[in-house]
Structure 1
Protein backbone atom coordinates (compact mmCIF):
# COMPACT_ATOMS: atom_id res chain seq x y z
CA UNK A 1 0.00 0.00 0.00
CA UNK A 2 1.11 3.54 -0.71
CA UNK A 3 1.65 5.71 2.40
CA UNK A 4 -0.61 8.70 2.98
CA UNK A 5 1.93 10.69 5.02
CA UNK A 6 5.65 11.13 5.43
CA UNK A 7 7.42 7.98 6.58
CA UNK A 8 9.53 9.92 9.11
CA UNK A 9 7.61 12.93 10.38
CA UNK A 10 10.27 14.18 12.82
CA UNK A 11 13.25 14.46 10.48
CA UNK A 12 14.26 18.13 10.04
CA UNK A 13 13.85 19.76 6.66
CA UNK A 14 17.41 20.97 6.27
CA UNK A 15 17.95 24.07 4.17
CA UNK A 16 20.13 23.61 1.11
CA UNK A 17 23.75 24.59 1.58
CA UNK A 18 27.11 23.95 0.02
CA UNK A 19 28.18 21.66 2.85
CA UNK A 20 25.03 19.53 2.47
CA UNK A 21 25.64 19.25 -1.28
CA UNK A 22 29.24 18.11 -0.75
CA UNK A 23 28.12 15.67 1.95
CA UNK A 24 25.44 14.28 -0.37
CA UNK A 25 27.95 13.64 -3.15
CA UNK A 26 30.30 11.80 -0.82
CA UNK A 27 27.52 9.98 1.04
CA UNK A 28 25.94 8.86 -2.24
CA UNK A 29 29.13 7.10 -3.30
CA UNK A 30 29.65 5.50 0.11
CA UNK A 31 26.03 4.38 0.48
CA UNK A 32 26.01 3.00 -3.07
CA UNK A 33 29.17 1.01 -2.37
CA UNK A 34 27.71 -0.36 0.87
CA UNK A 35 24.52 -1.32 -0.96
CA UNK A 36 26.51 -3.31 -3.53
CA UNK A 37 28.44 -5.05 -0.75
CA UNK A 38 25.17 -5.82 1.04
CA UNK A 39 23.60 -7.37 -2.06
CA UNK A 40 26.74 -9.40 -2.75
CA UNK A 41 26.75 -10.55 0.87
CA UNK A 42 23.15 -11.72 0.57
CA UNK A 43 24.12 -13.72 -2.50
CA UNK A 44 27.08 -15.27 -0.70
CA UNK A 45 24.94 -16.22 2.30
CA UNK A 46 22.32 -17.74 0.00
CA UNK A 47 24.97 -19.80 -1.78
CA UNK A 48 26.51 -20.99 1.49
CA UNK A 49 23.38 -21.37 3.55
CA UNK A 50 23.33 -24.05 6.18
CA UNK A 51 21.48 -27.24 5.53
CA UNK A 52 20.91 -30.62 7.05
CA UNK A 53 22.18 -31.30 10.55
CA UNK A 54 24.31 -28.11 10.55
CA UNK A 55 21.14 -26.02 10.64
CA UNK A 56 20.14 -27.59 13.96
CA UNK A 57 22.93 -25.77 15.83
CA UNK A 58 23.57 -22.77 13.55
CA UNK A 59 20.00 -21.46 13.75
CA UNK A 60 19.90 -21.31 17.59
CA UNK A 61 23.33 -19.67 17.65
CA UNK A 62 22.33 -17.05 15.06
CA UNK A 63 19.03 -16.31 16.80
CA UNK A 64 20.80 -16.05 20.18
CA UNK A 65 23.30 -13.54 18.78
CA UNK A 66 20.52 -11.42 17.30
CA UNK A 67 18.58 -11.65 20.57
CA UNK A 68 21.54 -10.48 22.63
CA UNK A 69 22.21 -7.61 20.22
CA UNK A 70 18.52 -6.73 20.44
CA UNK A 71 18.88 -5.77 24.09
CA UNK A 72 21.05 -2.86 22.96
CA UNK A 73 19.42 -2.27 19.57
CA UNK A 74 15.76 -3.40 19.66
CA UNK A 75 15.32 -1.96 16.16
CA UNK A 76 16.86 -5.20 14.86
CA UNK A 77 13.54 -6.93 15.50
CA UNK A 78 11.71 -4.67 13.04
CA UNK A 79 11.82 -4.42 9.27
CA UNK A 80 14.69 -1.93 9.19
CA UNK A 81 12.46 1.14 9.30
CA UNK A 82 13.46 2.11 12.84
CA UNK A 83 17.14 1.58 12.11
CA UNK A 84 16.93 3.85 9.09
CA UNK A 85 15.07 6.40 11.22
CA UNK A 86 17.91 6.42 13.79
CA UNK A 87 20.45 6.80 11.02
CA UNK A 88 18.61 9.82 9.58
CA UNK A 89 18.50 11.46 13.02
CA UNK A 90 22.18 10.76 13.72
CA UNK A 91 21.53 8.57 16.76
CA UNK A 92 24.16 6.16 15.57
CA UNK A 93 26.66 9.00 15.76
CA UNK A 94 25.65 9.61 19.37
CA UNK A 95 26.27 5.95 20.17
CA UNK A 96 29.73 6.22 18.59
CA UNK A 97 30.48 9.43 20.49
CA UNK A 98 29.35 7.84 23.77
CA UNK A 99 31.66 4.90 23.13
CA UNK A 100 34.56 7.27 22.53
CA UNK A 101 33.91 9.58 25.49
CA UNK A 102 33.21 6.75 27.93
CA UNK A 103 35.63 4.21 26.58
CA UNK A 104 37.07 1.55 28.85
CA UNK A 105 40.36 1.87 27.01
CA UNK A 106 43.08 4.44 27.83
CA UNK A 107 42.58 7.78 26.09
CA UNK A 108 45.45 10.02 25.02
CA UNK A 109 44.88 13.48 26.54
CA UNK A 110 46.56 16.76 25.53
CA UNK A 111 49.93 17.26 27.14
CA UNK A 112 49.21 20.72 28.59
CA UNK A 113 49.27 21.18 32.36
CA UNK A 114 47.43 23.30 34.91
CA UNK A 115 49.64 25.40 37.18
CA UNK A 116 48.66 25.23 40.85
CA UNK A 117 49.09 28.18 43.24
CA UNK A 118 52.00 26.51 45.04
CA UNK A 119 53.94 26.17 41.78
CA UNK A 120 53.23 22.50 41.14
CA UNK A 121 51.18 21.35 38.15
CA UNK A 122 48.60 18.71 37.31
CA UNK A 123 48.00 17.03 33.95
CA UNK A 124 44.71 16.17 32.30
CA UNK A 125 43.32 12.78 33.25
CA UNK A 126 40.29 10.53 32.91
CA UNK A 127 38.13 9.75 29.91
CA UNK A 128 37.07 13.41 29.65
CA UNK A 129 40.67 14.68 29.88
CA UNK A 130 39.86 17.22 32.60
CA UNK A 131 42.23 18.72 35.13
CA UNK A 132 41.95 17.23 38.64
CA UNK A 133 41.93 19.44 41.71
CA UNK A 134 45.32 20.68 42.82
CA UNK A 135 46.56 18.70 45.85
CA UNK A 136 47.11 20.29 49.29
CA UNK A 137 48.27 22.77 50.39
CA UNK A 138 46.33 24.24 47.45
CA UNK A 139 42.77 25.31 48.22
CA UNK A 140 39.95 26.44 45.94
CA UNK A 141 37.10 28.58 47.28
CA UNK A 142 34.56 28.04 44.52
CA UNK A 143 31.98 30.43 46.01
CA UNK A 144 34.32 33.42 45.66
CA UNK A 145 36.22 32.08 42.62
CA UNK A 146 39.75 32.09 44.01
CA UNK A 147 42.48 29.53 44.60
CA UNK A 148 45.61 29.77 46.71
CA UNK A 149 48.16 27.76 48.67
CA UNK A 150 47.87 27.67 52.46
CA UNK A 151 51.15 28.99 53.93
CA UNK A 152 53.40 26.45 55.62
CA UNK A 153 52.48 25.75 59.24
CA UNK A 154 48.99 27.24 59.04
CA UNK A 155 45.97 25.08 59.74
CA UNK A 156 42.29 25.45 58.91
CA UNK A 157 40.09 26.87 61.70
CA UNK A 158 36.46 27.93 61.99
CA UNK A 159 35.64 31.32 60.39
CA UNK A 160 35.18 33.99 63.09
CA UNK A 161 32.10 35.73 61.64
CA UNK A 162 29.42 35.56 58.95
CA UNK A 163 31.45 37.52 56.39
CA UNK A 164 34.43 35.19 56.70
CA UNK A 165 34.69 32.42 54.10
CA UNK A 166 37.92 30.87 55.40
CA UNK A 167 40.35 31.21 58.31
CA UNK A 168 43.77 29.79 59.08
CA UNK A 169 45.93 29.86 62.21
CA UNK A 170 49.62 29.43 62.92
CA UNK A 171 49.83 27.78 66.37
CA UNK A 172 51.94 29.53 69.04
CA UNK A 173 54.60 26.81 69.02
CA UNK A 174 55.49 27.63 65.42
CA UNK A 175 55.33 31.41 65.72
CA UNK A 176 57.45 34.13 67.31
CA UNK A 177 54.23 35.85 68.46
CA UNK A 178 51.39 34.36 70.50
CA UNK A 179 49.38 33.41 67.41
CA UNK A 180 49.17 34.40 63.78
CA UNK A 181 45.89 34.29 61.88
CA UNK A 182 44.75 34.75 58.29
CA UNK A 183 41.06 35.48 57.70
CA UNK A 184 39.40 35.80 54.29
CA UNK A 185 36.13 37.74 54.07
CA UNK A 186 33.71 38.41 51.24
CA UNK A 187 31.56 41.51 50.76
CA UNK A 188 29.07 42.10 47.95
CA UNK A 189 29.19 45.55 46.37
CA UNK A 190 25.74 47.14 46.22
CA UNK A 191 24.54 48.34 42.82
CA UNK A 192 24.51 51.93 44.10
CA UNK A 193 27.97 51.66 45.67
CA UNK A 194 31.58 51.15 44.58
CA UNK A 195 34.35 48.77 45.65
CA UNK A 196 36.21 51.61 47.37
CA UNK A 197 33.10 52.66 49.31
CA UNK A 198 32.61 49.04 50.37
CA UNK A 199 36.20 48.90 51.60
CA UNK A 200 35.77 52.11 53.58
CA UNK A 201 32.50 50.89 55.11
CA UNK A 202 33.99 47.57 56.24
CA UNK A 203 37.36 48.88 57.46
CA UNK A 204 36.30 49.35 61.08
CA UNK A 205 38.56 49.30 64.13
CA UNK A 206 37.85 46.40 66.45
CA UNK A 207 38.57 48.40 69.61
CA UNK A 208 37.01 51.79 68.89
CA UNK A 209 34.31 50.66 66.46
CA UNK A 210 35.09 53.69 64.31
CA UNK A 211 35.89 53.59 60.58
CA UNK A 212 39.58 53.56 59.77
CA UNK A 213 40.61 56.95 58.31
CA UNK A 214 41.40 57.05 54.61
CA UNK A 215 44.95 58.15 55.48
CA UNK A 216 45.54 54.55 56.57
CA UNK A 217 44.80 53.29 53.04
CA UNK A 218 47.60 52.47 50.60
CA UNK A 219 48.01 50.16 47.61
CA UNK A 220 50.45 47.49 46.52
CA UNK A 221 50.87 44.93 43.76
CA UNK A 222 51.35 41.30 44.74
CA UNK A 223 51.65 38.85 41.89
CA UNK A 224 49.09 39.83 39.26
CA UNK A 225 46.68 41.67 41.58
CA UNK A 226 46.52 45.17 42.99
CA UNK A 227 45.52 45.30 46.65
CA UNK A 228 44.35 48.14 48.86
CA UNK A 229 46.20 47.82 52.16
CA UNK A 230 44.57 49.08 55.36
CA UNK A 231 46.01 49.08 58.88
CA UNK A 232 42.93 47.97 60.81
CA UNK A 233 44.34 47.58 64.31
CA UNK A 234 47.50 48.24 66.33
CA UNK A 235 46.59 47.88 69.99
CA UNK A 236 47.87 45.93 73.00
CA UNK A 237 50.23 43.76 70.98
CA UNK A 238 47.68 43.02 68.24
CA UNK A 239 48.47 44.11 64.68
CA UNK A 240 45.73 43.56 62.08
CA UNK A 241 46.48 44.47 58.47
CA UNK A 242 43.83 44.01 55.78
CA UNK A 243 44.48 43.52 52.07
CA UNK A 244 41.40 44.40 50.00
CA UNK A 245 40.86 43.12 46.46
CA UNK A 246 38.16 44.43 44.10
CA UNK A 247 36.92 41.21 42.52
CA UNK A 248 34.19 41.81 39.95
CA UNK A 249 30.99 42.77 41.77
CA UNK A 250 32.53 41.76 45.09
CA UNK A 251 35.26 42.83 47.45
CA UNK A 252 37.54 40.30 49.12
CA UNK A 253 39.34 41.17 52.33
CA UNK A 254 42.39 39.23 53.51
CA UNK A 255 43.39 39.94 57.12
CA UNK A 256 46.81 39.21 58.62
CA UNK A 257 46.42 39.24 62.40
CA UNK A 258 49.54 38.99 64.55
CA UNK A 259 49.17 38.74 68.33
CA UNK A 260 51.78 39.23 71.00
CA UNK A 261 53.82 41.76 69.03
CA UNK A 262 56.10 43.31 71.64
CA UNK A 263 57.08 46.43 69.69
CA UNK A 264 53.63 47.16 68.30
CA UNK A 265 53.97 50.86 69.26
CA UNK A 266 57.20 51.30 67.30
CA UNK A 267 56.39 53.62 64.34
CA UNK A 268 59.26 52.13 62.36
CA UNK A 269 57.95 48.57 62.74
CA UNK A 270 57.92 46.83 59.36
CA UNK A 271 54.54 45.08 59.38
CA UNK A 272 55.46 42.89 56.41
CA UNK A 273 58.00 41.03 58.56
CA UNK A 274 55.39 39.81 61.06
CA UNK A 275 54.55 36.09 60.65
CA UNK A 276 50.91 36.43 59.60
CA UNK A 277 51.60 39.40 57.33
CA UNK A 278 54.56 37.73 55.63
CA UNK A 279 52.61 34.50 55.13
CA UNK A 280 49.58 36.35 53.75
CA UNK A 281 51.70 38.30 51.27
CA UNK A 282 53.14 35.02 50.04
CA UNK A 283 49.60 33.63 49.67
CA UNK A 284 48.42 36.70 47.75
CA UNK A 285 51.45 36.69 45.45
CA UNK A 286 50.31 33.32 44.05
CA UNK A 287 46.57 34.00 44.29
CA UNK A 288 44.55 32.72 41.34
CA UNK A 289 41.17 34.10 40.35
Structure 2
Protein backbone atom coordinates (compact mmCIF):
# COMPACT_ATOMS: atom_id res chain seq x y z
CA UNK A 1 0.00 0.00 0.00
CA UNK A 2 1.59 3.26 -1.16
CA UNK A 3 -1.17 5.78 -0.50
CA UNK A 4 -4.86 6.06 0.33
CA UNK A 5 -7.35 8.83 -0.38
CA UNK A 6 -10.70 9.40 1.32
CA UNK A 7 -13.47 11.49 -0.23
CA UNK A 8 -16.41 11.68 2.17
CA UNK A 9 -19.55 13.70 2.80
CA UNK A 10 -20.69 13.96 6.42
CA UNK A 11 -24.45 13.96 6.96
CA UNK A 12 -25.24 14.82 10.58
CA UNK A 13 -29.00 14.54 10.09
CA UNK A 14 -28.85 10.80 9.41
CA UNK A 15 -25.44 10.22 11.09
CA UNK A 16 -23.81 8.91 7.96
CA UNK A 17 -20.56 9.22 6.04
CA UNK A 18 -20.68 8.42 2.33
CA UNK A 19 -18.19 8.63 -0.50
CA UNK A 20 -15.24 6.63 -1.69
CA UNK A 21 -11.79 5.33 -0.83
CA UNK A 22 -8.93 5.05 -3.33
CA UNK A 23 -6.07 2.66 -2.59
CA UNK A 24 -2.79 2.95 -4.51
CA UNK A 25 -1.25 -0.52 -4.44
CA UNK A 26 1.91 -1.99 -5.92
CA UNK A 27 1.86 -5.82 -6.11
CA UNK A 28 5.05 -7.65 -5.17
CA UNK A 29 3.99 -11.14 -6.30
CA UNK A 30 3.02 -12.15 -9.87
CA UNK A 31 0.14 -14.43 -8.91
CA UNK A 32 -2.01 -12.05 -6.85
CA UNK A 33 -5.67 -12.56 -7.73
CA UNK A 34 -7.50 -11.50 -4.55
CA UNK A 35 -7.23 -8.43 -2.36
CA UNK A 36 -8.44 -8.95 1.22
CA UNK A 37 -9.22 -5.92 3.38
CA UNK A 38 -10.61 -5.49 6.87
CA UNK A 39 -14.19 -4.20 6.95
CA UNK A 40 -17.19 -4.12 9.30
CA UNK A 41 -20.95 -4.92 9.13
CA UNK A 42 -21.76 -1.23 9.67
CA UNK A 43 -19.96 -0.39 6.43
CA UNK A 44 -22.08 -0.79 3.28
CA UNK A 45 -20.13 -1.37 0.05
CA UNK A 46 -21.82 0.04 -3.08
CA UNK A 47 -19.24 -0.76 -5.77
CA UNK A 48 -15.56 -1.50 -6.34
CA UNK A 49 -13.51 -0.82 -9.46
CA UNK A 50 -9.91 -1.00 -10.59
CA UNK A 51 -7.66 0.97 -12.88
CA UNK A 52 -3.99 0.81 -13.90
CA UNK A 53 -2.79 4.42 -14.42
CA UNK A 54 0.41 3.42 -16.24
CA UNK A 55 -1.64 1.74 -18.99
CA UNK A 56 -3.42 5.00 -19.83
CA UNK A 57 -6.65 3.24 -18.99
CA UNK A 58 -9.47 5.79 -18.72
CA UNK A 59 -12.50 3.64 -17.90
CA UNK A 60 -12.19 1.67 -14.65
CA UNK A 61 -13.03 -2.03 -14.56
CA UNK A 62 -15.80 -3.10 -12.20
CA UNK A 63 -14.72 -5.78 -9.72
CA UNK A 64 -16.63 -8.52 -7.94
CA UNK A 65 -16.33 -8.87 -4.17
CA UNK A 66 -17.76 -10.61 -1.16
CA UNK A 67 -17.99 -9.78 2.54
CA UNK A 68 -17.46 -12.63 4.99
CA UNK A 69 -17.92 -12.65 8.78
CA UNK A 70 -14.55 -12.72 10.47
CA UNK A 71 -14.85 -11.81 14.15
CA UNK A 72 -17.31 -9.97 16.38
CA UNK A 73 -15.40 -6.75 15.62
CA UNK A 74 -15.16 -6.99 11.85
CA UNK A 75 -15.52 -8.69 8.47
CA UNK A 76 -13.23 -9.57 5.61
CA UNK A 77 -13.76 -7.84 2.28
CA UNK A 78 -12.43 -10.10 -0.51
CA UNK A 79 -12.00 -8.39 -3.89
CA UNK A 80 -11.37 -10.41 -7.05
CA UNK A 81 -8.68 -8.80 -9.22
CA UNK A 82 -8.79 -9.16 -13.02
CA UNK A 83 -6.29 -11.61 -14.47
CA UNK A 84 -3.47 -10.00 -16.43
CA UNK A 85 -3.96 -6.62 -14.75
CA UNK A 86 -1.92 -7.21 -11.64
CA UNK A 87 1.82 -7.31 -12.33
CA UNK A 88 4.70 -6.92 -9.87
CA UNK A 89 5.89 -3.33 -9.55
CA UNK A 90 2.97 -1.84 -11.50
CA UNK A 91 0.66 0.48 -9.56
CA UNK A 92 -3.01 -0.44 -9.32
CA UNK A 93 -5.78 1.89 -8.09
CA UNK A 94 -8.73 0.32 -6.30
CA UNK A 95 -11.76 2.57 -5.71
CA UNK A 96 -14.36 1.50 -3.14
CA UNK A 97 -17.63 3.43 -2.93
CA UNK A 98 -19.32 2.95 0.41
CA UNK A 99 -21.45 4.33 3.23
CA UNK A 100 -20.73 3.95 6.92
CA UNK A 101 -22.86 4.90 9.91
CA UNK A 102 -22.51 3.90 13.54
CA UNK A 103 -19.61 1.49 13.62
CA UNK A 104 -17.26 1.27 16.63
CA UNK A 105 -14.83 3.84 15.18
CA UNK A 106 -17.40 6.59 14.57
CA UNK A 107 -19.04 8.49 17.41
CA UNK A 108 -21.95 10.74 16.45
CA UNK A 109 -22.95 13.15 19.23
CA UNK A 110 -26.23 15.06 19.20
CA UNK A 111 -25.89 18.72 20.17
CA UNK A 112 -27.18 17.92 23.67
CA UNK A 113 -24.12 15.72 24.25
CA UNK A 114 -21.57 18.40 23.37
CA UNK A 115 -20.19 20.98 25.79
CA UNK A 116 -21.79 23.93 24.00
CA UNK A 117 -25.04 22.08 23.20
CA UNK A 118 -25.48 24.16 20.04
CA UNK A 119 -24.31 21.85 17.22
CA UNK A 120 -23.72 18.12 16.81
CA UNK A 121 -20.22 16.67 16.66
CA UNK A 122 -18.61 13.54 15.28
CA UNK A 123 -15.22 12.02 15.98
CA UNK A 124 -13.42 8.79 15.12
CA UNK A 125 -11.42 6.54 17.43
CA UNK A 126 -9.50 3.94 15.44
CA UNK A 127 -7.37 2.32 18.12
CA UNK A 128 -6.77 -0.50 18.05
CA UNK A 129 -8.75 -2.26 15.28
CA UNK A 130 -11.83 -0.03 14.91
CA UNK A 131 -11.02 2.00 11.78
CA UNK A 132 -12.19 -0.91 9.62
CA UNK A 133 -15.66 0.57 10.33
CA UNK A 134 -14.45 4.01 9.11
CA UNK A 135 -13.05 2.78 5.79
CA UNK A 136 -11.94 -0.61 4.36
CA UNK A 137 -8.29 -1.01 5.19
CA UNK A 138 -5.36 -3.18 6.20
CA UNK A 139 -6.20 -2.73 9.86
CA UNK A 140 -2.78 -3.58 11.26
CA UNK A 141 0.14 -1.38 12.40
CA UNK A 142 2.38 -3.47 10.13
CA UNK A 143 0.98 -1.65 7.06
CA UNK A 144 1.64 2.10 6.81
CA UNK A 145 0.99 4.65 4.05
CA UNK A 146 0.59 8.34 3.40
CA UNK A 147 -2.96 9.59 2.96
CA UNK A 148 -5.03 12.47 1.67
CA UNK A 149 -8.66 13.31 2.35
CA UNK A 150 -11.46 15.51 1.02
CA UNK A 151 -14.25 16.04 3.55
CA UNK A 152 -17.55 17.80 2.81
CA UNK A 153 -19.60 19.16 5.72
CA UNK A 154 -22.61 21.42 6.37
CA UNK A 155 -22.10 25.14 6.92
CA UNK A 156 -20.72 26.08 10.32
CA UNK A 157 -18.80 22.86 10.81
CA UNK A 158 -15.01 22.62 11.09
CA UNK A 159 -13.16 19.41 10.24
CA UNK A 160 -9.81 18.37 11.69
CA UNK A 161 -7.74 15.30 10.84
CA UNK A 162 -4.46 13.73 11.92
CA UNK A 163 -2.67 15.23 8.94
CA UNK A 164 0.40 17.37 8.40
CA UNK A 165 -1.28 19.82 5.98
CA UNK A 166 -4.83 21.14 5.56
CA UNK A 167 -6.84 23.69 3.59
CA UNK A 168 -10.45 24.86 3.44
CA UNK A 169 -12.74 26.13 0.67
CA UNK A 170 -15.45 28.21 2.34
CA UNK A 171 -17.49 28.50 -0.87
CA UNK A 172 -17.68 24.71 -1.33
CA UNK A 173 -17.51 23.83 2.41
CA UNK A 174 -14.73 21.35 1.62
CA UNK A 175 -11.77 20.55 3.85
CA UNK A 176 -8.63 19.04 2.27
CA UNK A 177 -5.98 17.12 4.21
CA UNK A 178 -2.62 15.57 3.44
CA UNK A 179 -0.44 13.37 5.63
CA UNK A 180 3.07 13.21 4.21
CA UNK A 181 4.35 10.65 6.70
CA UNK A 182 3.34 6.96 6.41
CA UNK A 183 0.97 5.96 9.23
CA UNK A 184 -1.02 2.81 10.08
CA UNK A 185 -4.77 2.88 9.48
CA UNK A 186 -5.69 3.26 13.16
CA UNK A 187 -3.96 6.67 13.26
CA UNK A 188 -6.20 8.17 10.56
CA UNK A 189 -8.47 10.29 12.76
CA UNK A 190 -11.23 12.83 12.14
CA UNK A 191 -13.34 15.22 14.22
CA UNK A 192 -16.00 17.61 12.91
CA UNK A 193 -18.14 20.09 14.80
CA UNK A 194 -18.30 23.65 16.05
CA UNK A 195 -14.60 24.11 16.79
CA UNK A 196 -12.35 27.14 17.16
CA UNK A 197 -8.62 27.44 17.75
CA UNK A 198 -5.94 29.49 19.44
CA UNK A 199 -2.21 29.26 18.77
CA UNK A 200 0.00 27.97 21.57
CA UNK A 201 3.29 28.39 19.74
CA UNK A 202 4.88 28.27 16.27
CA UNK A 203 3.96 24.59 15.76
CA UNK A 204 1.10 24.01 18.19
CA UNK A 205 -2.46 25.17 18.69
CA UNK A 206 -5.45 24.15 20.74
CA UNK A 207 -8.90 23.41 19.29
CA UNK A 208 -12.12 23.25 21.29
CA UNK A 209 -15.75 24.19 21.27
CA UNK A 210 -16.09 27.99 21.67
CA UNK A 211 -17.32 27.72 25.26
CA UNK A 212 -14.16 25.80 26.25
CA UNK A 213 -11.47 27.55 24.25
CA UNK A 214 -10.45 30.27 26.72
CA UNK A 215 -10.20 27.73 29.55
CA UNK A 216 -8.18 25.33 27.39
CA UNK A 217 -5.78 28.09 26.37
CA UNK A 218 -5.29 29.16 29.99
CA UNK A 219 -4.76 25.61 31.22
CA UNK A 220 -2.21 24.70 28.55
CA UNK A 221 -0.30 27.97 28.49
CA UNK A 222 3.22 27.37 27.19
CA UNK A 223 3.40 23.74 28.35
CA UNK A 224 3.14 22.15 24.89
CA UNK A 225 6.07 24.05 23.37
CA UNK A 226 8.09 23.66 26.56
CA UNK A 227 7.72 19.90 26.73
CA UNK A 228 8.26 19.52 22.98
CA UNK A 229 11.61 21.22 23.54
CA UNK A 230 12.44 18.91 26.45
CA UNK A 231 11.56 15.85 24.35
CA UNK A 232 13.73 17.07 21.49
CA UNK A 233 16.69 17.59 23.83
CA UNK A 234 16.33 13.98 24.93
CA UNK A 235 15.40 12.17 21.70
CA UNK A 236 16.05 14.46 18.72
CA UNK A 237 13.75 16.48 16.41
CA UNK A 238 9.97 16.13 16.66
CA UNK A 239 9.10 14.51 13.33
CA UNK A 240 5.36 15.18 12.90
CA UNK A 241 5.76 18.94 12.38
CA UNK A 242 2.49 20.00 14.05
CA UNK A 243 1.58 19.22 17.66
CA UNK A 244 -2.03 20.37 17.95
CA UNK A 245 -4.56 19.37 20.60
CA UNK A 246 -8.34 19.14 20.32
CA UNK A 247 -10.51 18.83 23.43
CA UNK A 248 -13.49 16.53 22.93
CA UNK A 249 -16.72 16.20 24.95
CA UNK A 250 -16.88 13.81 27.94
CA UNK A 251 -18.30 11.11 25.63
CA UNK A 252 -14.76 10.54 24.32
CA UNK A 253 -14.19 6.92 25.41
CA UNK A 254 -10.60 7.28 26.65
CA UNK A 255 -8.54 10.01 28.29
CA UNK A 256 -6.49 10.81 25.19
CA UNK A 257 -5.29 9.47 21.85
CA UNK A 258 -1.90 10.25 20.32
CA UNK A 259 -3.04 10.81 16.72
CA UNK A 260 -0.17 12.26 14.63
CA UNK A 261 -0.22 16.08 14.48
CA UNK A 262 -3.54 16.19 16.39
CA UNK A 263 -3.89 14.72 19.87
CA UNK A 264 -7.45 14.04 21.05
CA UNK A 265 -8.00 14.78 24.78
CA UNK A 266 -11.17 14.51 26.84
CA UNK A 267 -12.34 17.96 27.98
CA UNK A 268 -13.09 16.89 31.55
CA UNK A 269 -9.35 16.48 32.17
CA UNK A 270 -9.14 20.28 32.46
CA UNK A 271 -10.61 19.92 35.97
CA UNK A 272 -7.08 18.98 37.04
CA UNK A 273 -4.16 21.07 35.78
CA UNK A 274 -1.71 18.47 37.10
CA UNK A 275 -3.45 15.58 35.33
CA UNK A 276 -3.64 17.62 32.11
CA UNK A 277 0.10 18.37 32.23
CA UNK A 278 0.94 14.72 32.84
CA UNK A 279 -1.18 13.73 29.86
CA UNK A 280 0.36 16.36 27.55
CA UNK A 281 3.82 15.00 28.41
CA UNK A 282 2.60 11.44 27.89
CA UNK A 283 1.16 12.17 24.43
CA UNK A 284 4.28 14.07 23.33
CA UNK A 285 6.33 11.03 24.37
CA UNK A 286 4.27 8.93 21.95
CA UNK A 287 5.49 11.14 19.10
Question: In which range does the TM-score fall when normalised by the shorter chain?
Answer: under 0.3
More strand by share: 2
Q: TM-score, structure 2 length as denominator?
A: 0.25
For the pair shown, which has the larger CA radius of gyration, 1 or 2? Answer: 1
* Higher relative contact order, structure no. (Cα contacts within 8 Å, ≥ 6 residues apart): 2
Q: TM-score, structure 1 length as denominator?
A: 0.25
